[in-house]
Amino acid sequence: MLQARHRCLYAAFDRFPSRKGAAIHIDRFARVLFDFFGGGLLYVLGSDDLPAQQFDDNVEIVRLSASIDNFLERTIAFGERLELLLDETQDSLRLVHFRDPWSGVPIVSRPHDYAVVYEVNALPSIELPYTYPSAAPSTLAKIEKLEQIALDRADAIVTPSATICNRLVTRGVSPAKITVIQNGADLPDRVERPNDAPRDYLLYFGALQEWQGIETLLRAFARVRDLDLHLVICSSHDLRYAKGYVRMAERLEIADRILWKASLTADELQPWLQHAIASVAPLSDCARNVVQGCSPLKIVESMAAGVAVIASDLPAVRELVTDRCEGLLVAPDRPAELARAIRILFEYPDLRRDLGSRGRDRVRQSLTWPHATKRLIDVYGVILSEAKDLAGEMLRYAQHDDSRR
C-alpha cells in the first residue's frame, strides 16, 4: 500500500542503490523527475539489506526484494508488482519514465492519461545471451516483441548513444521520437593519492562481464611486464566473479602486478582514478557493444578526472573520444595494439597529461550531468506540451535549474 499519491513514476529493473553505472544514471535522471514534480514514486529491484518500502525526503521508494533465482521469473514478478502500483496511482500519474521492457510493457499496455518516456540503455534481446548463453532463440524473440511494444507505445525515447539510436531506427522507431542524451559526469576536485597505490599503474574500473574485454586487458598487460607498471582493477562486483581472471593472471605470470579492489564507493574510487597513468576501457567487438551500442560511463568519468583514456575503437566510443585528442583508441580484441598504447602513455608523460586535460575540457563543455539533465527536461516539456499549465511549470523549472548552475 502506497503512502502518498504520486504524479510521477520512475521504474527500473535494476538494484538501487548499487555501485553499478546504472545506479548512477538512475539517481541523476530520477532526481530531475522528482525535483520537478516535488516528489514521486521510484520502483526498482532490492535485496535483503535494503528496505522493501521507504521514504527518502519526498520520494517513495518501492523495491521488489523477492529472492527469485530465475531471471525471467524475476522479470515477471517485477511486472506483476508494478501492475499493482499502477492500479494505485493510475488516476494521479502525469509522467512515467522507465528503463526496460519489464517495466515498460505494464506501463504502456493499459489505458492511461500519463505521458511515457522510455530510456533505452540496452536491449535485453541482444544483451542477455552474454549473461545467459543457453537462452533459447524463441525466448529472445519473445523478449524482442516486448521491447517493440514498449518502443512503439512510448511517447518519447531517450538513449545515451547515437549507436543505440541507429539500432532503434532499424527497428522501425521514428528518429523524431528519439533524443540522444549522452552520459554525464561531475568535474571532481583534486584528491590525495591512495596510501597503498603503486608508483605507476593503469586502472580498470567497472563490471567484469565478458563484453568488457578484461581478457584482452590481461593479455596486453602481460606484454608490458618489462615496465615498472601495475594494473589496478576496481570491480563493481564482488571479487568472487573475478576468480577466472585471477587464474588467468597467474597463468600469464602477472598476478603479482595486479591489485584487486571491489565495490568501492565513488569517493573511494576517485583517488585511484585521478592518480592512474591511464584509464582503460578495452570493450570487445561484439553485438552487445556494436550492434546494440553502449555509452561507457567509465570513459566519461575518467575524462572528467583529467585522466588519459585508452579505449576500444568502436562507434559508441568514438562518440565520446577522438583518437589522440582525449585518449588513444585501439582496435578491439587486439592485445598487441592495446599493449602498444599502454607503452606509449607510460613512456610519454607529457602526452598523457595533454590527453587528460583535453578530456576534462570536453566534459566541461558538453558532458556534465547538468548538460544531460537539461536535455531530459526538454524532452519532458515536449511530451507534456498538451497540458499547457504543466508545460509552463516545466519551462520555469528548467530556467530556475539553469540559474542555479
Instruction: Name all domains of the chain by residue range, CATH numbers in brackets.
Output: 8-183+368-404 (3.40.50.2000), 201-366 (3.40.50.2000)
pLDDT beyond 90 at 60: yes
Q: DSSP alpha helices (H): ranges in 91-202?
A: 101-109, 124-131, 137-153, 162-170
Rounded-to-10 torsion of CA 311, 315, 318, 323 = 60
Query: In terms of residues, how long is the chain?
Result: 405
Q: What pLDDT, in 10s, does the model give residues 299-332?
A: 999 999 999 999 999 999 999 999 999 999 999 9
- Confidence label for 399 from pLDDT (cuts 50, 70 and 90): low
Q: What does the pLDDT read at residue 396? A: 53
What is the percent of the chain with per-residue pLDDT over 90, rounded to a whole number? 86
- Cβ atoms of residues 330 and 337 within 8 Å: yes
Q: What pLDDT, in 10s, does the model give residues 158-205?
A: 999 999 999 999 999 999 999 999 999 999 999 999 999 999 999 999
Separation of first and last alpha carbons in the chain: 38
- Cβ atoms of residues 82 and 150 within 8 Å: no
Q: Which amino acid is at 282?
A: P
Beta strands in 226-354 (DSSP E): 230-235, 258-262, 278-281, 309-312, 327-330
Q: What pLDDT, in 10s, does the model give residues 137-153?
A: 999 999 999 999 999 99
The model's pTM is 0.91
pLDDT beyond 60 at 390: no
Q: What does the pLDDT read at residue 404? A: 47
Q: Which three cell numbers stand for residue 13?
A: 529493473
- Return d(Cα 375, Cα 386) in angstroms, integer: 19
- Return d(Cα 71, Cα 14) in angstroms, integer: 12
Q: Which three cell numbers stand for residue 316?
A: 559508441
Mean of pLDDT values over 209-223: 97
Strand-pair partners of 233: 204, 260
